[in-house]
Amino acid sequence: MTYRHELPELPDRMRFLPLDKRGYPVPWFVAWINGEPDFRIVDPRKFAMALKMRRCWVCGDRLGAYLAFVIGPMCAVNRVSSEPASHRECAVYSATACPFLTRPHMRRRDAGLPDVKINPPAGIGLDRNPGVSLVWITRRYRLQKVHAEEGVEKGWLVHLGEPREVLWFCEGRKATRGEVLDSIGSGVPLLRQLAEKDGPPAIEEFDRALAGALELVPA
């Protein structure tokens, strides 16, 4: 299979990854169903290995001191991720090459999912394509076990440490300030509604978190 020529240059750590029929590299975390990769499904074994063994979510190699998370603008407000860390170069590649992340009008395909058990990501996800992605680089994070109703374990959330660097992307390139602000603005009402359900203290905390996220917007 031939690598797609229009994609960014592959980082050295990702050169050994297999290619799918379209020429896209298959990230380490992707589940293989009947011999074919399904990018919509996370291999649960890889998720556990990434957390326990500090392995890169994209290439599978060992992580160093700096940890990069590919998140949406709203995750910059609550500072959480439902996915483990990656190397900086692997995260940047994902933000500039992944079709879902580089095409603002693209939606996730749910049709034709294989007949396998799929655990949804932990936390409350916003069902939208934000159009802008953020690579959040830090040296620390904290794990939180999330339980569904009736005490059934649902998964893990990653609480992100203070950023050492933030990189904003849109359509496979660096995002402009206006693009980032538009994306944040479109998601704020959804998060504010959740805060309002928990009362004034939650609203105050949300406002503080939003102000902190806006300080990270590019000039």
- Give one DSSP letter per residue of 98-151, joined into a string: -HHHH-TT-----TT--SS--PPPSS----S--S-EEEEEES-EEEEEEE-GGG
Provide block-wise average pLDDT over 10 residues at a time, the chain (219 residues). 92 96 96 94 95 97 97 94 97 94 65 54 57 96 81 79 97 96 93 92 95 95
Q: Are 83 and 70 in contact (CB under 8 A)?
A: yes
What is the predicted pLDDT for the residue at 153? 58
Instruction: Report which of 84, 81, 87, 190 is spatially closest to residue 133, judged by C-alpha positions.
Output: 81
What is the predicted pLDDT for the residue at 1? 77
What is the predicted pLDDT for the residue at 50? 97
Residue 105 in tokens: 């009008």
Question: What pTM does this model have?
Answer: 0.87
What is the predicted pLDDT for the residue at 101? 87
What is the predicted pLDDT for the residue at 109? 56
